[in-house]
Structure 1
Amino acid sequence: MPYVMRNADGDICGLFEQPQEGFAEELLAADDAAVIDFLNKPLPVAAVSARQFKLQLLAAGLLDSVDAWVAQQPRDVQIAYEYSGIFVRNSPMMETGFSAMGFTPQQIDGFFVAAAQL
């Protein structure tokens, strides 16, 4: 039976064989649905190729909106968007762009997971 650590939203964020000092845990059965869901959750994707990123923008119907947004940004952002070989999930420019498009952190993760499959 694993010890379960949850985040502020109540989602499982870690499984441990022993209690972890300084954290509130609960003990759940290994076959508990929440434990199984946590173990089957796709790992976060830290970066994707430019091809994957832009094809996912196209698939999501966002390519034209993002192109228009980038065209109004400072020159360094335009150059990075046009010439980067990879797009890194947690880069400041990426965070700014996704925020401007109204994405939540969970939606950004989902976008990168989908893009990584292309």
Structure 2
Amino acid sequence: MVPEQVSSRQFKLQLVAAELIDVVGSWIGTQDRAVQVAYEYSGTFVRYEPMMAAGFAAMGFTDQQIDAFFLAASEL
């Protein structure tokens, strides 16, 4: 079952595992300050949050790929 949220640690370690940490970091750097602060200081990352959807859409992820990402992150 796909989790609705994962911890910041799990999310960012999954970015490392998927070799996306630098791509996401670059994308975050182009966003407004609110998105940058949310990425840096959030304790959890929520699957269906609009900010999350925007980030995954910017990287061309499908819903199935997002689910797989969250599932993998939840196992870290």
Shared fold per TM-score greater than 0.5 = yes
Measured against aligned partners, the alpha-carbon deviations of 1:65-111 in whole angstroms (never above 9, x if no partner) come to: 00000000000000000000000000000000000000000000000
- The within-5 A match list for 1:5-16 is none
Q: Which has the higher helix share?
A: 2
Aligned length: 76
Partner of residue 107, structure 1: 65
1:1-118 mapped onto 2 (5 Å cutoff): 43-118=1-76
Letter of the 1:58 partner, please give it: V
Name the SS of the counterpart of 1:70 in structure 2.
Answer: helix
Which stretches of structure 1, 4 residues or more, deviate above 3 A after TM superposition?
Answer: none
User: Which structure: greater strand fraction?
Assistant: 1
State the TM-score, normalized to the length of structure 2: 0.99
Give percent identity, aligned residues only. Answer: 62
Structure with max Cα Rg: 1
Distance 2:2 2:19 in 1: 22
Q: Which runs of 5+ in 1 are unaligned?
A: 1-42
SS of structure 2 residue aligned to 1:48: strand
| Distance of 2:74 and 2:24 partners within structure 1 | 19
Q: Any stretches of 5+ residues in structure 2 without a counterpart? A: none
Q: Distance in 1 between matches of 2:3 and 2:43?
A: 16
Length-normalised TM-score, structure 1:
0.64
Higher relative contact order (CA 8 A, sep 6+): 2
